[in-house]
Amino acid sequence: MANKRDYYEVLGVSRDSSEQEIKKAYRRLAMKHHPDRNPDDAKAEEKFKEASEAAEVLMDAEKKSAYDQFGHAGLEGNMGGGFGGGNGNFGSIFEDVFGDIFSGGGGRGGRSQVHRGSDLKYILDLDLEAAVKGTNPKIKIPTQVECNECLGSGAKRGSAPTECVQCAGMGQVTARQGFFSIQQTCPRCRGTGKMITDPCTKCRGQGRTEEQKTLSVKVPPGVDTGDRIRLAGQGEAGANGGPAGDLYVQINVRDHRIFTREGENLYCDVPISFVDAALGGELEVPTLDGRVNLKIPSETQTGKLFRLRGKGVNVTQVRGGGIGDLYCRVTLETPVNLSRNQKDLLREFAGESSDKQSPRQSSWLDGVKKFIDTLTD
């Protein structure tokens, strides 16, 4: 006894440490010095055994009490010959501490085979008008639902699944590798713990069948491409009585022939004539709420943006913002199919025009001239 180290010193814990702290200390040392991690290292193996012996004592209330009062002498006859003699509860203490790692979290009762159903995704294509104002379409989706013939058991009506003989209904089998005890999914029943000898003819023993399901989707005003709507419990049915998954409806807004959308704002191009651009005028432009008049001031240049407040997208319900605007971009349209008289009038107009009436053109031409001059110098 005189040659043995103090068990608290071995594990590096204090005498008032909790069982959880002792277990944590042992876990760290055992993983570090385990023989499988340190092959042909006698010193590591000895440290592993020493730590396991200390943990067995300090994690047992009766042994710990005797050790605290009398030291190693208080354990004589109580350790079954000690670890060195090979009669200690060596495998048990290791399995108790590491069982949550190697059993898959299932404990002695095995891993539960009740599984939640898979989530599903549905792409919902919408016109811009429906996305902006909201809609309530009906969709059809293929999904796995509980078999109404066998009520999800997978067994033919009038029969029932039987307990798997290989895993005794646990769904897992235990394989030992040295000091490790590893639980694996039972290969016979594939983890269900049950065997179906007379399967349901409708679902072929799966407990689920595929159906087309019609659902109503409430699409709030203001949704945009990429937004998702979650329908809880409308995904695939769960296995072995597990809850159903969810259905995620993903929005895709089709391109519009007039408007483009950027967030809460809408944009459209408005072609105007040469005369309207030069003299000004008033045009009817479309919005999602109908037509409105847009006043074009004289001498308007192509590409100018006109803002119509509050004629964009209301995103209050989906993003917590407000109502966007509509931006109309005017584009000057060159007249075509001119008559001889119209051409003569334009030539006459051009003859009376000055550089001051085309400032951008004059500035551009001056820039071109200076550029060419630098090339010829």
Per-residue pLDDT of the chain (377 residues; tens, 9 = 90+): 456 789 999 899 998 888 888 888 888 888 788 776 777 788 888 888 888 888 888 888 888 888 888 787 777 655 443 333 333 455 555 555 555 444 444 443 444 456 788 888 999 999 999 999 999 999 998 877 788 888 878 888 878 888 888 887 777 887 766 556 677 888 878 777 788 888 898 888 888 788 888 999 999 999 999 999 999 988 887 766 678 889 999 999 999 999 999 999 999 999 998 889 889 989 999 999 899 999 999 989 889 999 999 999 999 888 877 899 999 999 998 888 999 999 999 888 888 876 666 666 667 667 777 777 777 76
Contacts of 363 (CB under 8 A, 6+ apart): none
CA distances from 93 to 57, 58, 234 (A): 10, 11, 46
What domains are defined for the chain? Answer: 7-102 (1.10.287.110), 116-156+201-254 (2.60.260.20), 260-366 (2.60.260.20)
Enter the tokens of residue 49.
């055994």
Is the pTM higher than 0.85? The answer reads no
d(CA 210, CA 208): 7
| Listed residue (157, 142, 140) closest to 203, CA to CA | 157
